[in-house]
Amino acid sequence: MSGDRAGHYRILHEGDLRDYLAGLSGLRALLGGEPASWSITEVGDGNLNLVFIVKGAGGGIAVKQALPYVRLVGESWPLPLSRAHYEYLALSRQAQLAPGLVPAVLHHNDALALTVMELLEPHIIMRKGLVAGKQYPRFVDDITAFMARTLFFTSDLALSAAEKKEGIAAFAGNHALCKITEDLIFTDPYRIAEQNRWTAPYLDSLAAELRNDMELHVSVSRLKLKFMASPEALLHGDLHTGSIMVTESETRVIDPEFAFYGPMGFDSGAVLANLLMAYFASVGHERAAGERAAFEGWVLETVEKVWTEFARKFLDLWRAGATGDAYPPSLFTGDKGAARLETERQAYMQRLFADTVGFAAAKIIRRIFGLAHNIDFELIEDAGKRAVSEARAVRLARAMMVETATFRTIADVTGAARKLRDARELREWMPDLPG
Ligand code: SR1
Ligand code: MG
């Protein structure tokens, strides 16, 4: 409907928000009725922002406002409001590239760091559904379309060098959000850091092991360098299952405030990591035995399909229309050129798979030893059971990060995850875990 820079920043509480929305004719008409009758509820349960759901007689909207600090920690950790601008920019680009897979933006105000979006109802945060043991039949098709299209079309395979560099420049200012990732994912879990936490005392020795594991430190530092120095494509930047809203028939990717040009495997790795954590956490949640087996089978099947479908769609886009400046067609003419380029595409995907495996591992370890955990594990009340699930996930992650080359296919990843369900093997490795 509209976008503007007008006004000065202030945190909008319910009354201010009502007045602000009442002054926007399009939104006022959408909500319907008198502003005084609108219900306004703050529902944000993420780490950074305020999120309001506003409902009137005619309809509803979601309003997201960035706070000038990290909500999870408080005012002692300031964070630039400009992240709302980058989120708006990313949402707009993603809407062009992957129509129907992100929420529609109805209004944006840079000065207020505020974005109004369509209300996604009855969608829920996918992570909550996974904790409840729900399966999502549309997910593979939708998330792989989102990843393949947003990554391919913002890469050098699709863009001219000038367009690509303009894209990098447009998001380069989002470095404070990148720094959060650089610290919280690639550094802090591997050293003593004030904000780290884990399931103590069960994982104390594992945390100490991580801090002394130099092979792991080299591997995570290589990933960090790749994250910092490989602007391959416009990333969502925080593509976990808390950034995805679902119903059985629809998927929407939300919250791209960490967007920047980075290595593609960071996004694909995030999706796989969060599915793998849902798999390892499942045993700690109440489910009937049959349901548990079905859910866990579906999750691992989803892990496999997410990679294979993503790779297939990405390659199809590349084969159908590589208009970018990379791999100039004039260098790959005739049958010989076509054959050699196809071999190169396979090599490209193999390299992207290795990045995906490594980044997925980093994403798992940060959720178990770093500042920000996830409810997949956190809602397992029994700390001993939680520690067992987490230790299994960490063991897989350590192998994925340090022995990445031994994971040649996605079936190698799911096979290793399945094997780690053998508790005896785990106990030999970590005798301190509860029985
Ligand atoms: C301080 S922000 C912590 C985490 O929340 C976001 O969802 C990102 O994952 C970030 O790393
Ligand atoms: Mg988020």
Mean pLDDT in residue range 2-29: 88
**127 contacts 374 by C-beta, under 8 angstroms:** yes
The helix/strand/coil state of 42 is strand
Q: Is the Cα torsion angle 91, 97, 102, 106 positive or negative in sign?
A: positive
4 or 258, which is more confident: 258
**Nearest atom in ligand 1 to 242's CA:** 7
Closest listed ligand to the CA of 243: 2
Q: Is the Cα torsion angle 126, 146, 406, 219 positive or negative in sign?
A: negative
Whether the per-residue pLDDT at 197 is higher than 70: the answer is: yes
Share above pLDDT 90 across residues of the chain, in percent, rounded to a whole number: 93
- Cα(75)–Cα(1) distance, rounded to whole angstroms? 33
CATH 3.90.1200.10 fits 124-429, yes or no: yes
Lookup: tokens for 324 = 């970018």
Which backbone phi and psi does 132 adopt, to 5 degrees? -85, 0
**117 contacts 15 by C-beta, under 8 angstroms:** no
**258 contacts 181 by C-beta, under 8 angstroms:** yes
Report the pLDDT value the prediction gives residue 87, as an integer from 0 to 100: 98
- In the chain, CATH 3.30.200.20 covers 14-118
**Nearest atom in ligand 1 to 258's CA:** 8
Whether the per-residue pLDDT at 1 is higher than 60: the answer is: no
- DSSP string of 220-253, one letter each residue: HHHHHHHHHH---EEE-S--SGGGEEE-SS-EEE
The helix/strand/coil state of 191 is coil
Going by C-beta distance under 8 Å and a sequence separation of 6 or more, which residues neighbour residue 229? none
CB atoms within 10 A of CB 254: 23
Instruction: Please name the residue whose Cα sits nearest to atom 2 of ligand 1.
Output: 47
Mutate which of 51, 180, 236, 271 for ligand 1? The one with the most ligand atoms within 8 Å of its CB, which is: 180
Terminal alpha carbon distance of the chain: 58
**pLDDT band (50, 70, 90) for residue 3:** low
Residue 302, amino acid: T
Encode pLDDT of 55-99 as tens digits: 999 999 999 999 999 999 999 999 999 999 999 999 999 999 999
- In the chain, CATH 3.90.1200.10 covers 124-429
Report the pLDDT value the prediction gives residue 7, as an integer from 0 to 100: 74
Encode pLDDT of 269-304 as tens digits: 999 999 999 999 999 999 998 999 999 999 999 999
**Nearest atom in ligand 1 to 73's CA:** 1
**416 contacts 309 by C-beta, under 8 angstroms:** no
**Nearest atom in ligand 1 to 371's CA:** 3
**pLDDT band (50, 70, 90) for residue 428:** low
The helix/strand/coil state of 1 is coil
422 or 229, which is more confident: 229
Closest listed ligand to the CA of 253: 2
Mean pLDDT in residue range 359-365: 99
Beta strand spans in 69-132 (E):
69-70, 74-78, 105-109, 114-118, 124-125
Lookup: tokens for 1 = 């409907």
Residue 191 Cα, ligand 1 centroid: separation in angstroms? 18
Q: Which CATH class is domain 14-118?
A: alpha beta
Whether the per-residue pLDDT at 397 is higher than 50: the answer is: yes
Please name which of 58, 109, 61, 105 lies closest in space to residue 82, comparing C-alpha atoms.
109
- Cα(9)–Cα(230) distance, rounded to whole angstroms? 34
Distances (CA, A) of 364 to 212, 269, 389, 398: 18, 10, 12, 9
Residue 48 Cα, ligand 1 centroid: separation in angstroms? 7
Any bridge partners for residue 261, and if so which?
234
Claim: this prediction has a pTM higher than 0.85:
yes
Report the pLDDT value the prediction gives residue 421, as an integer from 0 to 100: 79
Residues at CB less than 6 angstroms from ligand 1: 47-48, 70, 72, 180-181, 184, 238, 372
Report the pLDDT value the prediction gives residue 423, as an integer from 0 to 100: 62
Encode pLDDT of 93-103 as tens digits: 999 999 999 99
**353 contacts 307 by C-beta, under 8 angstroms:** yes
């290795």: which residue's tokens? 354
Largest separation between any pair of C-alpha atoms in the chain: 70
Beta strand spans in 110-237 (E):
114-118, 124-125, 233-235
- Cα(432)–Cα(6) distance, rounded to whole angstroms? 58
